[in-house]
A and B are shown apart, each in its own frame.
Chain A
Amino acid sequence: MEDVLAGKVIAVNGPIVRAQGLGGIKMFDIAEVGADRLIGEVIRLAGEIAIIQVYEDNTGLKPGDEVISYGRPLSVLLGPGLIANIYDGIQRPLVGISEACGSYIRKGIKLSPLDTQKKWDFRPLVKAGGVAGEGTLLGEVRESPLVMHRVLVPPGVSGKLTKLAPAGAYTIEEEIFTVEAETGTYAGRLAAYWPVRRPRPNRNRKKPVVPLITGQRIIDTFFPIARGGTAAIPGGFGTGKTMTQHALAKWCNADIIVYIGCGERGNEMTDVLTDFPKLIDERNGRPLIERTVMIANTSNMPVPAREVSIYTGVTIAEYYRDMGYSVAVMADSTSRWAEALRELASRLGDMPAEEGFPPYLATRLAEFYERAGLVETLSGSDGDITIIGAVSPPGGDFSEPVTQHTSRFVRCFWALDKTLADARHYPSISWIESYTEYLADIEDWWKTLDARWFDIRNEAMNILLEDHRLEQVVKLVGSDALPPAQQYILLCAETIKNAFLQQNSFDPEDKFCSPEKQIRILSGLLLLYRRGLDLVQKGVGVKQIAALDAVSGLVRLKSEIPNRDLSGIDAHLQRLEEALAALAAAPTGG
């Protein structure tokens, strides 16, 4: 028998409810509130009074209504069946909710996050009788064609493995193993609960050295992120945060994607839901949905559940990391999470710090991003979590608190630029304001692919920086007033922007660009730069070079040459070299 605490509501202010009589209740315990038994969580204790934030619409709730608690913390259920599923912020299954009550989300619905009827084929990998420690691999279940679900002894449990079920089909509720520990007997099942606000433990943290390949040129080549790293995508509305998150969720080479729609549009989640089952990952020929878990707590869903959604997401990510996978978490948008925090803080009467945000905003952000990383798991394998958070600064102004604090805790900053977005230059990641701190860490990985990589990248970056400097002059005097060599830099930078940086997510070839293709195209652009500059210095006109078909054709390589066969790029560069050579031979011609 579980102990039940029972108390009464004494005050209601929006989703914040005060209750009395729950002696012995702990911080972050779940409370069920009112006749509908709405899910809430204790977020503060003040003497006799428990302050509860309610995760569902609580209109109609009255002083005097009953509140009960089993004294358990707010948790997620982790087990096979998470993949391809979509949940609200507190892990209620949206598909189940729609089957139970139609197109709208009604309150008071309680459904298991995982299918309790479904039988999974379990295959044991060890024998009973041995020692089982935290993270010991016991067996596996094929969760999706892409994901082998590893059944591990959970953190905090170790002792003698006295029972392990034979190969066969089991539901998540059937007992699969027993560990006899000093503290008692632990009965293990395919699924187990874990409190969302508590990071899952690991053996130790390691330095990330492998880049997360995203197929997005400006990211992979110029501002790469490591597997296990952190990145922020700040930008005003319409600058491309969501599209970038979607592109990464689709094409990055993580094993598992956890996509968190946090306080954003309903249709954007619908877009993921309709696209991912149809989109095929070229690397394995399987639909993307088979490696994706979705959390959708859209802007019109209860605000407190939005606050939890990112923890729900990252806990699920840790669960797969612990199996040795590489997991990428997209959170769109962390600003809406911060606003939820602000709204709740203000209802609690907390003293605000900057712009109404509570003083603990920075700590909470730091704690969240700290859950990213490459670790040695309790099983002894490597697993990692990369966290990529969108930030939505009011008025697109990066000096506001969420952007500022986030930039202290992430090591990659992909700043979106309104002017680029207005010109429909996507992704509108600014090559001037963005930065990454992972370059040195992942340099070796790229160099094994192509020894020239680092030099090519830096040379191209220098052209862009020089262009940026020259643009300030051009704004005042026009480009014709510059000496030819500088005009030529403008031409090359323009070509790099259009042929390389700009990438169309809707183009079937261009949406994903392999690292090899990135290097080839960029080295072609540098060929243009070096050879051409030489010609310009010898008196060939910049316009003559610009007029070459082989030069204007560079812009189309990204969409015309497929990733699987790059020979077209080499052929084009051959033509470019010939055309430039012809200009050198007859400088006044053309």
Chain B
Amino acid sequence: MTAEIEYTNLSGISGPLIFVDGVAGVGYGDIVEIRDKTDRLRIGQTLEIDQEKAVVQVFEGTSGLSVTDTRVTFVGRALEIPVDRDMLGRVFDGLGRPIDGAPQVVTDRVMNVNGLPINPWSREYPRDFIQTGISAIDGMNTLIRGQKLPIFSGSGMPHNRIAAQIARQARILTAEEEFTVIFAAMGVKFDVARFFIDSLEESGVLTHSAIFLSLADSPSIERLVTPRTALTLAEYLAFEEGMHVLVILTDMTNYCEALRELSSSRGEIPSRKGYPGYLYSDLASVYERAGRLKGGRGSITQVPILTMPSDDISHPVPDLTGYITEGQIVLERALFNKGIYPPIAGLPSLSRLMKDGIGEGRTRRDHGQVAAQLFASYAKVKRIRALAAIVGEEELSELDKIYLKFGTAFEEIFLRQDYEENRSIEQTLDIGWRMLSLLPKDELYRIGREEIQRYYMPEAENT
């Protein structure tokens, strides 16, 4: 086999890419070991290959590499990491190597970080309700086990706290099963990682969590592997060990920027905002690694976090994410500025898997209708507020004024809750009814007569 030949000269370096001439027997996607003068080892991957030349991306970046004095070996297989239960409680870099001082995990089991596409026929449709204890999520944007539900945030907003609160409070109502958290950080500051580690520790789950860090000071190209490494371990734990894994990926915007950087070093034709045309497919190869399998016990639930540049939801990163994930939790600057935690936007947030995970026998029979009505009524509040800004509140009709009262109560009582506050789904729905009961019965056109009969509160009781 010619694959293990060492090549000593590069024909060029560009951004995270190196070009190696005169290669033979190298496969597309093969892993490459690169050693510089000081013998420091870096890992790379072949992106393009023809009869003479290979294009290789270097995950640790090319800084310090020179065209001469660099030794390159093509290993002849894709990037793999060891996977094992013993990886829980440990901290790794983006390529899956321990950075917590403890030794490498000993196991024979290695898996390709790129995974394989799940056969749609082999998926089990996710339906199990996860109670997060957060009303805006449980009541209106329900998280389901096996779902991919991102948080769309903006700089300075409390996405990390919300994710940490979910990780701490998440609970399945029906059964106690093995639950674990995998946290992957791409290009964020150390404080963010520290915050998650501390909060996992406080809630006592750190010992069965695994942490993958590729922080702001690591080469940006490493961020492209980090979520894949984390998801590879997640797949092993979920689908071979039967665990329920919550994967938090932060910040996907940094991931996408790394991809843009790589694409531009390759001289590819950009599509929107300089991002490559394949950003959608690339993101899908990360996000689609969530779900459940037929006949399997475990699940992977993904909560990716991304910051929307200038709070713009139509920016390619949130836009393409929303096209792939099963909904989105959107944080809203206006609510945040009002001091409301969690500032979860009432209208653009959505959980696509909610419909099959709620209702009688799962949460409560009225759940779907209450959610639909809250959305519809709050949409009306938004319209009336826009009008009030022009004509003044006094000029509004009586009914419109009632809607404004409902809107304030919805934000201050339903949405707002404490970082430590863990509401049951019953409590959430009851608060929902208290809000809806501020409106006249006739306005509740998304709710059936029976439910109104049963849950609508006459004014006297609603204080």
Contacts and interface: CB of A to CB of B under 8 A. Distances in A.
Interface of A: 10-14, 18, 57-64, 86, 94-95, 97-98, 102-106, 236-238, 261, 263, 265-267, 269-271, 273-274, 296, 298-303, 336, 339, 342-343, 346, 352, 355-356, 392, 394-397, 419, 422-425, 474-480, 498, 504, 506, 547, 552, 555-556, 559
Contact of A424 (B24, B323, B376): B376
A475 B387 contact: yes
Which residue, A104, A474, A504, has most C-beta atoms of chain B within 10 A? Answer: A104
A176 B445 CA distance: 61
20 contacts: A57-B116, A60-B77, A103-B122, A105-B116, A265-B326, A266-B123, A270-B124, A299-B280, A302-B117, A339-B277, A339-B278, A343-B278, A355-B271, A355-B272, A394-B320, A395-B319, A424-B446, A474-B387, A475-B390, A559-B448
A298 B28 contact: no
A11 B50 contact: yes
Contacts of A97: 119, 121
Given A343-B278, A397-B314, A266 B29 contact: no
B51 A11 contact: yes
B288 A299 contact: yes
B391 A477 contact: yes
Given A104-B118, A478-B396, 14 more contacts: A12-B48, A58-B28, A103-B122, A103-B294, A105-B119, A237-B319, A266-B291, A300-B288, A303-B278, A346-B277, A395-B315, A422-B347, A506-B368, A559-B448
Contacts of A339: 277-278, 280-281
B386 A475 contact: yes
B397 interface: yes
B120 A94 contact: yes
Nearest to B116: A104
B27 interface: yes
Contacts of B242: none
B199 interface: no
A556 B326 CA distance: 30
A296 B347 contact: no
B353 A506 contact: no
B353 A267 contact: yes
B125 A267 contact: yes
Contacts of A474: 387
A528 to B, nearest CB: 15
Given A346-B268, A475-B387, A552-B442, A238 B372 contact: no
Interface residues of B, number: 82
A396 B24 CA distance: 47
A95 B119 CA distance: 9
Contacts of B270: 356
Given A105-B117, A237-B323, A267-B326, A10 B280 contact: no
Given A273-B120, A339-B280, A62 B326 contact: no
User: Which residue, A62, A105, A336, has most C-beta atoms of chain B within 10 A?
Assistant: A62
Contact of A59 (B78, B380, B390, B400): B78
Nearest to A302: B117
Q: Which of A103, A267, A425, A559 has the most CB of B within 10 A?
A: A267
B146 to A, nearest CB: 8
A274 B125 contact: yes
Interface in B117-148: 117-126
Given A104-B116, A422-B348, A61 B316 contact: no
B199 to A, nearest CB: 29
B395 interface: yes
* Dominant secondary structure of chain A at its interface with chain B: mixed
A60 B397 contact: no
Contacts of A506: 355, 368
B324 interface: yes
A249 B270 CA distance: 36
Contact of A480 (B324, B356, B397): B397
Contacts of A62: 25-28, 49
Contacts of A299: 280-281, 284-285, 288, 324
A265 B288 contact: yes
Given A270-B120, A342-B277, A422-B348, A394 B49 contact: no
Contacts of B375: 422-424
B406 interface: no
A103 B316 contact: no
A356 B119 contact: no
B251 interface: no
Interface in B169-184: none
Interface in B267-317: 268-272, 277-278, 280-281, 284-285, 288-289, 291, 293-294, 296, 314-316
A552 B120 contact: no
B387 A352 contact: no
Contacts of B328: 238
Contacts of B353: 267
A336 B26 CA distance: 31
B322 interface: yes
A394 B77 contact: no
B239 interface: yes
Contact of A422 (B126, B278, B379, B387): B379
A355 B279 CA distance: 14
B359 to A, nearest CB: 9
B82 interface: no
Interface string B23-43: 011111110000000000000
A18 B116 contact: no
A94 B121 contact: yes
Contacts of B288: 265-266, 298-300
A395 B449 contact: no
A11 B294 contact: no
Max chain A C-beta neighbours (<10 A), residue from B119, B278, B288: B119
B397 A102 contact: no
A18 B123 contact: no
Contact of A266 (B25, B120, B322): B120
Contacts of B114: 59
Contacts of B352: 238
Nearest to A478: B391
A12 B49 contact: yes
A502 to B, nearest CB: 9
A13 B48 CA distance: 5
B327 interface: yes
Report, nearest first, the 6 A-B pairs whose CB atoms are least far apart: A59-B29, A423-B379, A395-B314, A11-B50, A299-B284, A300-B288
A18 B391 contact: no
A61 B239 CA distance: 29
Contacts of A480: 395-397
Contacts of A271: 125, 356
A552 B123 CA distance: 43
Contacts of B272: 355, 394
Contacts of B56: none
Given A265-B326, A498-B445, A552-B445, A301 B117 contact: yes
A61 B347 contact: no
Contacts of B386: 475
Contacts of A392: 323
